[in-house]
Amino acid sequence: MNYRFPVVLLFTALLVAPGCSSEPAEEPAAEAAHQEPAEVTEAKEFDPAALKARIDAGENVYLLDVRRPEELIEHGAIEGYVNIPIDELEGRVSEIPKDRKVVVYCMRGGRAGRGAELLAKNGHTGLEFGGITEWKEAGLPVVQPEGSK
């Protein structure tokens, strides 16, 4: 019996099948953003402990969380955040101050990188980006959105 065709078919299916994840299903664009941070020329990835120290020292940082509201409820947010989901950011870019350092974050940094790139193209400087996952892994605190449990 020739097993070559089923093996090739199985291998092809494994290459194109979506990966298993404990994360909730997302739209294709958001899912792709979780793979690798977008290339950002005018921003740098933030160091969670250093960012926390700057915030504690009173630095006036604008914390932009670009996740969907349900993600904030599930995973928490950095205290002082403003939530503008990545899908809405282009239409709301004028809400982001240009006179403050802006730290854009999401779960792992992919959408945040895209958000920082968009802000850089619109004249923002001093941009940083990253993910709440790394923040939490560093043992740093999160808050729950107002009105959530």
Q: What is the pLDDT along the chain (149 residues), one digit of tens a residue?
A: 444 444 433 344 444 444 333 344 444 444 444 444 445 456 899 999 999 999 999 999 999 999 999 999 999 999 999 999 999 999 999 999 999 999 999 999 999 999 999 999 999 999 999 999 999 999 999 999 987 66
In a domain, 76, yes or no: yes
CATH code for the domain of 115: 3.40.250.10
Cα(51)–Cα(47) distance, integer angstroms: 6
Residue 34 within any structural domain of the chain: yes
Residue type, 44: K
- The total number of structural domains that make up the chain: 1
| Residue 149: per-residue pLDDT | 61
38, 84, 102, 106: the active-site residue: 106
Beta strands in the chain (DSSP E): 43-45, 61-65, 81-83, 101-106, 127-131
**Any domain includes 87:** yes
Please give the residue range of the domain that contains residue 73: 26-137
Whether 21 maps to a domain, the answer reads no
Residue 117 domain-assigned? yes
Yes or no: say if 145 and 75 are a contact pair by the CB < 8 Å rule: no
Give rounded-to-5 percent helix, strand, coil for the chain.
40, 15, 40
The phi and psi torsions of 128 (rounded to 5 degrees) equal: -135, 155
In degrees and rounded to multiples of 5, residue 68 shows phi and psi of -75, 150
Would residue 106 show up in a list of annotated catalytic residues for this protein? yes
Residue type present at position 40 = V
